[in-house]
Amino acid sequence: MRCRLFLISFLVAGTALADPPAHLAEPHLDIVPRTDAERERIAGATALPEDFSAPEAFEQNPAGAATVRARSTPDAFSQASGNMPFERELDFKVGNGLFKKLWASAPASTKASDGLGPVYNARSCQRCHLKDGRGRIAEEGESGLFLRLSVPRDEAGAAEIDRYLAALGDEIPGANPHPVYGSQLQDLAVPGVPAEAKLEVRYETFEEELSGGETVTMHRPVYEITDPGYGPLGDVQTSPRLAPQMIGLGLLEAIPSADILAGADPEDLDGDGISGRAQIVWSAEFDRPMLGRFGWKAGNPTIREQSASAFAGDIGISNSLHPEGYGECTERQPDCTGAPHGNDDARGTEIDAEGLDLVTFYARNLAVPARRDVDDPTVLRGKEIFHESGCASCHTPKFVTHRLEDQPEQSFQLIWPMTDLLLHDMGEGLADHRPELRASGTEWRTAPLWGLGMTETVSGEERYLHDGRARSILEAILWHGGEAEAAKSRVAGMPKPDRDALIRYLESL
């Protein structure tokens, strides 16, 4: 299968495709085309391993030259790309300052910091992505868990991206923002403005049986929306989302679209049960369809657009791509739309274009730590089991990034993100039943696994999957269903020493 996919990748990435799909375009990158010799080298470097008795070449550096030394402190995810030029370090540090910045409600004495809300989920990026890692689920106040909202799409909701996808022959399950509450529930608000509602979560427990008599206590979340500030929500589609870790984003952005699309098999033509497909989104910045890469359902095409969406939706901060001073409020929230905001003639939006660029640069260059114990016999055995069990069918180990003119940190790196960046049906257990463009209510983008074993070091706890329900790596595996059901069943049924070796390998990432 992988040989076939690489052949497709070779044809797409080269000159053999006369009329490539519009969403293959990558206007955000200044790309130097690959030579035939480079493509041949890449084929060898990204081939799947056949020998598991020793580490592969460069495996200890999952981000290539951008990899940094693994730290045993909560700052392990907060380092700059290891190959960053000295002259860009100040930009990284200023971007870090903006990422941590606490915004205040308008009007404030410090104009550069006002514009919070009026409704919001957190006062800074760092409040959700703690130490640049995963969010935490707080009982009240600011939390890394928030709730996406929508209602079923009608004809009035058709947009340019719908017409493009329809031209590709897609049925579009997508959704419209809620007519009152928008596309995200904001549970906090500035003085004088009602918060939209509160999100409450409780957990039901059940036991999952494994081979050898082992059992695992699983947590199934049950969500409830209380205290709606603008009337009942009615028939609403919801999707809880936990803020993901931030490392390696620039390298994911630099993977050639053609190489990602080469792994897609939406009709499962090879019969292996894996039918990943690409998310396609409409770029607000470039006014064209692009490949979705970022977010739990790959809803954004670039780091800049992901950052701009988070500023607007999570903090209520206007920017060049979302210029409304009242954030995500709708016309049916007059207290919110009528509240003071921070847009002004001097700087324009509440965070100006330069500030958004600096945050984007910071997010693009948060470094991936080096692997640990790559030559440990148990880790090597766990790696072999990872491949034998079929995990690598979605968690694609390796890519080589584009050669780039102006991004030396991301240019032509052999990386090990352990994701194909495609959408996969994960079954009813993880379903949110809320479509997002091409993604159905059971589909999720494959999450990158690099840095997985450092989650507790950075965040102080283990929380995995889109809503943080899994409190261990094993729990996360056992929630897999749909296309991953067979792989999950293999893990549940294998001898305990093999299962332990698999977890040990994942902890080394």
With residue 221 as reference, give the H or E element that holds it: strand 215-226
Residue 420 in any domain: the answer is yes
Question: What are the residues whose beta carbons fall under 8 Å from the beta carbon of 7, sequence distance 6 or more?
Answer: none
- φ/ψ region of 421 (left if φ > 0, alpha if ψ in -120 to 50, else beta) reads left
| DSSP symbols for 457-482 | HHHSS--BSTTS-BSSHHHHHHT--G
pLDDT for 140 equals 54
pLDDT for 139 equals 56
Residue 417 in any domain: the answer is yes
With residue 38 as reference, give the H or E element that holds it: helix 36-45
pLDDT for 168 equals 72
Residue 497 in any domain: the answer is yes
pLDDT tens-place values along the chain, 509 residues long: 443 343 333 333 333 344 568 788 899 999 999 999 999 999 999 999 999 999 999 999 999 999 999 999 999 999 999 999 999 999 999 999 999 999 999 998 887 889 999 999 999 999 999 999 999 886 555 667 899 999 887 655 556 777 777 777 676 666 788 999 999 999 999 999 999 999 999 999 999 999 999 999 999 999 999 999 999 999 999 999 999 999 999 999 999 999 999 999 998 888 999 999 999 999 999 999 999 999 999 999 999 999 999 999 999 999 999 999 999 999 999 999 999 999 988 879 999 999 999 999 999 999 999 999 999 999 999 999 999 999 999 999 999 999 999 999 999 999 999 999 999 999 999 999 999 988 999 999 999 999 999 999 999 999 999 999 999 999 999 999 999 999 999 999 999 999 999 999 999 99
Map tokens 């809300």 to a residue. Answer: 117
Would you say the pTM of this structure is higher than 0.85? yes
Distance CA 461, CA 331 (A): 40
pLDDT for 45 equals 96
Tokens of 460: 């102080």
Peptide bond into 107 cis (omega under 30): yes
- CB-facing half-sphere around the CA of 499: CA atoms within 13 A: 21
Distance CA 439, CA 88 (A): 37
Domain that holds residue 55: 2-82+244-279+368-507
Instruction: Enumerate the β-bridge partners of residue 473.
Output: none
pLDDT for 18 equals 42
CA max distance for the chain: 68
Map tokens 């091409």 to a residue. Answer: 438
Split into its structural domains, the chain has a count of: 1
Question: What are the residues whose beta carbons fall under 8 Å from the beta carbon of 366, sequence distance 6 or more?
Answer: 77, 78, 79, 80, 132, 246, 247, 248, 249
Distance CA 245, CA 445 (A): 14
Residue type, 104: A
Residue 189 in any domain: the answer is no
Is the separation of the CB atoms in 235 and 137 below 8 Å?
Answer: no
Residue 11 in any domain: the answer is yes
Residue 303 in any domain: the answer is no
| Opening angle at CA 425, ends 390 and 420, nearest 5 | 55
Tokens of 17: 């495709």
Residue 47 in any domain: the answer is yes
